[in-house]
């Protein structure tokens, strides 16, 4: 069985480093994986065997300031497709698919807008939607509403919340995860009751805060602003997967995005949450790629 490659780096044309991991079949169909928030390249490791069995090569990229990737000042959402194309060229990939999960969703859609000629398929699982949409955060857990909605109106509060989150993940991550799990819907609690699942979530989150709170504030700023394009302008087919009891990213976000993206297939699962979706329906998600 092929083993994961947990840390690889490439040097971009502007001198920045970008770190990534390779999971699944190293000679399989290439799929760039965009992690959630707070997260990192390690997020995709939990499904390594599923990707391997499906003949999929997952290239899980750390965004600027995450993991070992160099932070980029004043970056915008539409800067990301350029980085992805650079990595693809370095790896000699002419075409590829994209899987964006949670906070990686906006980045997947940015690629659908900016680099359609490189893309085979674009899939988004429990993807964060535009925060300027009507009632965007309705149904979202309070901690996420603070980060993604209220925080922009009270920057000192946002900085404090992110600082506390980073400190918790850097010192006693298991304690913070336990409290977090208690507030989740039953499908997610069930999945995260397993020690190995907790380990993958913790590893991803801890690596995601390696460089401190600054890069996380960058991410929140990007999510909170106008993305730089309209969903109506996407011309690449997009598949959305969403659990209907998700309180991290509510199902209303998927429905809103599906209503605007011209060529969009939405798959809703009434008995799944944010974390259970990628466990219970990984085969369907892979098939969409």
Domain parsing of the chain, residue ranges = 5-287
In angstroms, the Cα distances linking 247 to 58, 223, 229, 274 are 27, 17, 26, 7
Per-residue pLDDT, 52: 98
The fold for domain 5-287 equals Rossmann fold (3.40.50)
Instruction: Give every CB contact of residue 111 below 8 A, 6+ residues apart in sequence.
Output: 80, 81, 84, 98, 118, 119, 122
Which residue(s) pair with 268 in the sheet? 242
What is the pTM for the complete model shown? Answer: 0.97
- Say how far apart CA 106 and CA 100 lie, in whole Å: 8
Per-residue pLDDT, 157: 87
Cβ(14)–Cβ(64) under 8 Å? Answer: no
Q: Per residue in 90-102, pLDDT tens? A: 999 999 999 999 9
In angstroms, the Cα distances linking 186 to 195, 201, 273 are 16, 17, 8
Of 242, 240, 243, nearest in space to 260 by CA: 240
Following DSSP, what letter does each residue of 222-243 receive, concatenated?
HHHS--SS-GGG--S-EEEEEE
Cβ(252)–Cβ(226) under 8 Å? Answer: no
Per-residue pLDDT, 162: 93
Out of 16-20, 104-108, 180-184, 281-285, pick the least confident: 180-184
Buried b (16+ CB within 10 A) or exposed e, 161-183: bbeebbebbeeebeebbeebbee
Q: Per residue in 236-275, pLDDT tens? A: 999 999 999 999 999 999 999 999 999 999 999 999 999 9
Instruction: Give every CB contact of residue 4 below 8 A, 6+ residues apart in sequence.
Output: 21, 22, 23, 45, 48
Arithmetic mean of pLDDT, 83-92 = 99
Is the pLDDT confidence value at 154 over 90?
A: no
In angstroms, the Cα distances linking 242 to 49, 74, 188, 195, 282 are 22, 31, 13, 24, 12
């Amino acid at each position: 069985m092929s083993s994961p490659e947990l840390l690889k780096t490439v040097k971009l044309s502007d001198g920045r480093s970008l770190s990534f991991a390779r999971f699944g079949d190293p000679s399989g169909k290439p799929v760039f994986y965009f992690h959630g928030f707070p997260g990192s390249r390690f997020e995709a490791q939990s499904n390594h065997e599923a990707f391997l069995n499906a003949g999929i090569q997952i290239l899980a990229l750390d965004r600027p300031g995450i993991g070992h990737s160099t932070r980029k000042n004043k970056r915008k959402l539409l800067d990301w497709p350029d980085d992805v194309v650079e990595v693809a060229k370095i790896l000699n990939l002419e075409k590829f698919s994209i899987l964006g999960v949670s906070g990686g969703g906006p980045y997947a859609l940015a690629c659908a807008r900016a680099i359609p000629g490189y893309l085979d398929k674009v899939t988004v699982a429990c993807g964060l939607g535009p925060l300027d949409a009507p009632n965007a955060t309705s149904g979202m857990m309070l901690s996420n509403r603070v980060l993604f909605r209220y925080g922009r109106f009270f920057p000192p509060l946002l900085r404090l919340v992110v600082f506390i989150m980073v400190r918790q993940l850097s010192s006693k991550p298991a304690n913070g995860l336990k409290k977090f799990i208690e507030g989740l819907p039953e499908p997610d609690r069930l999945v995260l009751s397993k020690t190995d699942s907790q380990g993958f979530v913790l590893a991803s989150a801890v690596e995601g805060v390696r460089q401190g709170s600054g890069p996380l504030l960058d991410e929140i700023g990007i999510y909170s602003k106008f993305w730089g394009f309209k969903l109506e302008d996407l011309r690449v087919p997009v598949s959305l997967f969403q659990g209907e009891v998700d309180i991290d990213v509510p199902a209303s976000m998927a429905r809103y995005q599906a209503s605007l993206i011209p060529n969009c297939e939405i798959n809703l699962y009434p008995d799944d949450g944010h974390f259970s979706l990628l466990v219970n329906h990984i085969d369907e998600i892979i098939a969409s790629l």
